[in-house]
Chains A and B, each alone.
Chain A
Amino acid sequence: MLETFYDVMRRQGISRRSFLKYCSLTAAALGLGPEFAGKIAHAMETKPRIPILWLHGLECTCCSESFIRSAHPLAKDVILSMVSLDYDDTIMAAAGQQAEAIVEETIKKYDGNFILAVEGNPPLNQDGMSCIIGGKPFLDQLTRVAKHCKAIISWGSCASYGCVQAAAPNPTKATPVHKVIHDKPIIKVPGCPPIAEVMTAVVTYILTFEKFPELDRQGRPKMFYSQRIHDKCYRRPHFDAGQFVEHFDDEGARKGYCLYKVGCKGPTTYNACSTIRWNEGTSFPIQAGHGCIGCSEDGFWDKGSWYARLTDIKPFGIEANADTIGIAAASTVGVAIAAHAAASAVSRAKANQSNQPVTTKGQGE
């Protein structure tokens, strides 16, 4: 008989009172009704614990760093204790051969019944040699573990989209997880890093209900990624009023105007930063006076300036945006039209002169 979540938590020294608090808190964080607190509690008391293997590919560990800073200590304690029990090479106690043995043990013991969480992504060039785990390419470890897992969580923009290591020209051919693993359900939790509460809530939902939360077309949980930062931004009234920061040291910046003109990507970035915020709800980039850089969007490193509204269009060279290209094209066409109009006028004038005596031709005006 496998342990239930509740057993694990009690063993970790969490009181029943704290456990119930955690259940209601999680229900609220997931946007579920009050009655779901009881359902979560019931599920956690009766369901066997699903182990999580947390693998690290090409990454910077910011996802792990974010995860362990979950604002709600209960969520952190509970989920971390559940996760770290198995394999997460950043925070587990074991190292070397012992650590790698855990992977094999989990595969043997929970074949087809564990969750694979991937932070970072596998590089495909040079036979995957740009990322070596325990003497083997990460690609091998990922494909082997993925074959035996139940479902995959793609942590962060690296695993979801590729992020910085997949930025052009991408010499290692870093590739997001869903382009390597095709036969398992994958949930993407993009962000660089994702918000801690989003991560813990996603884990809790999957562990509790044994299914993914509702996903959008790109595989992201709708509850956190269905709206843009801009839609819920506290500076939105300044946007609607037309009050913008023009430069980072101007009066508007001091007054907290909208950062749209200095390149805020809030209007094109799907994430929950403006509602959940960061570091126990303390702040988020826009609140700190810097525009959103759009870290949870596909290919955000290659999408041009973080400090200009109109992003660069790369094939047209550095510093070219939609307007510079448009103005160039319109000017060219404008000059061409003017030249053609002048040529037309000249040719018509000539034709009229030469036509005048020839009255039988039937080319009257």
Chain B
Amino acid sequence: MSQPNDTPAFQPAVYVYEAPLRIWHWLNALAIVVLAITGYFIGSPLPTMSGEASDHFLMGYIRFAHFAAGYILLIGFLGRIYWAFVGNNHAREIFVPPFHKPEYWSGVLHEIRWYAFLEKEPRKYTGHNPLAILFMHFMFVWGMVFMIVTGFALYGEGAGLDSWQFHLFSSWVIPLFGQSMDVHTWHHMGMWWILLFVMAHIYVAIREDIMSRQSLVSTMISGWRTFKDQRKVDDGH
């Protein structure tokens, strides 16, 4: 397609997502995939195995994969929170959304209008757009916290009364929900919550990669945000 621009120069790309954040993103994505699949099979196990019990350890391996991925998710999330402190400004966006700023909410409204086909043109952001921040913060960050807390509460039940998992999580989470089965059910619902997030996340990432005025998918691989036009960015709106 032709380049119908006033000025010939390209807008310089911006380094948005630093390497630790990108590694975390993909590691976390992998952990979520493993957790969702193994978690589903813990709730609804595969058809029964024949032969002697000593010949198989299928459920054991599924649970091991779930627990191992759970630890990776937890450690990764803690590392991600650490990175929110020491990383660049974009590393903080989804943790501390600027809810107190009116221009943020007008940005959210604009994005909603853009998704409802009421705006002809999207705004241009170096980091996340305002709606994305809202979505990431509530669906993802709190979803992660919920899954980690309930997940480790369930893990602590098996690890036993003297385990740190029990002290930190099971001891208060299980009575809070009523009983162990309730925590299982809510943890299971949490999986679907995260899945809804993943569906929407992947869809909008691809959609905006095509339709917005900046790069999306490649940014989470290379870290660089590139822009499709030269006009100034709308950050902060």
A347 contacts which chain B residues (CB < 8 A)?
A: 117
| Contact (Cβ within 8 A) B3 A364 | yes
Question: In the complex, what distance in Å separates the CA atom of A330 from the CA atom of B189?
Answer: 11
* Cβ 8 A contact of B57, one of A226, A241, A323: A241
Please judge, given known A-B contacts A228-B157, A310-B185, A362-B4, whether A260 and B179 are in contact too, CB under 8 Å.
Answer: no
* Cβ 8 A contact of A261, one of B45, B56, B115, B231: B45
A154 to chain B, nearest CB (A): 15
B112 to chain A, nearest CB (A): 13
Q: Which of A70-78, A107-115, A215-223 makes up part of the contact surface?
A: A215-223
A298 contacts which chain B residues (CB < 8 A)?
A: 178-179
Question: In the complex, what distance in Å separates the CA atom of A239 from the CA atom of B228?
Answer: 55
Encode A201-236 as 1/0 by CB contact (under 8 A) with B: 000000000000000111000100011100100000
Please judge, given known A-B contacts A242-B49, A252-B48, A265-B181, whether A326 and B189 are in contact too, CB under 8 Å.
Answer: yes
| Contact (Cβ within 8 A) B48 A294 | no
* Cβ 8 A contact of B188, one of A245, A269, A300, A310: A310
| Contact (Cβ within 8 A) A303 B53 | no
Question: In the complex, what distance in Å separates the CA atom of A303 from the CA atom of B183?
Answer: 12
| Contact (Cβ within 8 A) B158 A231 | yes
B11 to chain A, nearest CB (A): 12
Question: In the complex, what distance in Å separates the CA atom of A326 from the CA atom of B198?
Answer: 13
Encode B24-63 as 1/0 by CB contact (under 8 A) with A: 0000000000000000000111111110011111111010
Cβ-closest chain A residue relative to B1: A365
A-B pairs with beta carbons under 8 A, tally? 153
A98 contacts which chain B residues (CB < 8 A)?
A: none
Mark out the residues of chain B between 183 and 233 whose CB falls within 8 Å of any chain A CB in the assembled complex: 184-185, 188-189, 191-192, 195-196, 199-200, 203, 207, 210-211, 228-231
Main secondary structure of the interface of B (DSSP, over half): helix
A343 contacts which chain B residues (CB < 8 A)?
A: 117
Q: Most chain-B CB neighbours within 10 Å: which of A333, A341, A347? A: A333
Question: In the complex, what distance in Å separates the CA atom of A330 from the CA atom of B54?
Answer: 38
Interface size on A, as a range, is: 35 or more
* Cβ 8 A contact of B172, one of A217, A237, A327, A363: A217
A216 contacts which chain B residues (CB < 8 A)?
A: 161
B91 to chain A, nearest CB (A): 28
| Contact (Cβ within 8 A) A330 B195 | yes
Question: In the complex, what distance in Å separates the CA atom of A344 from the CA atom of B208?
Answer: 10
| Contact (Cβ within 8 A) B171 A244 | no
| Contact (Cβ within 8 A) A351 B120 | yes
| Contact (Cβ within 8 A) B181 A329 | no
Question: In the complex, what distance in Å separates the CA atom of A277 from the CA atom of B4?
Answer: 82
5 more contacts with CB within 8 A, not counting A243-B48, A257-B48, A261-B48, are: A228-B157, A242-B49, A243-B56, A245-B48, A330-B192
**Across chains A and B, which 8 residue pairs bring their CB atoms closest together, nearest first?**
A326-B192, A242-B58, A268-B180, A241-B56, A322-B188, A359-B4, A240-B60, A241-B53
13 residue pairs of the A-B complex, CB under 8 angstroms, read A217-B171, A238-B53, A242-B46, A265-B181, A268-B184, A270-B180, A303-B182, A309-B43, A341-B203, A343-B117, A363-B229, A364-B3, A364-B5
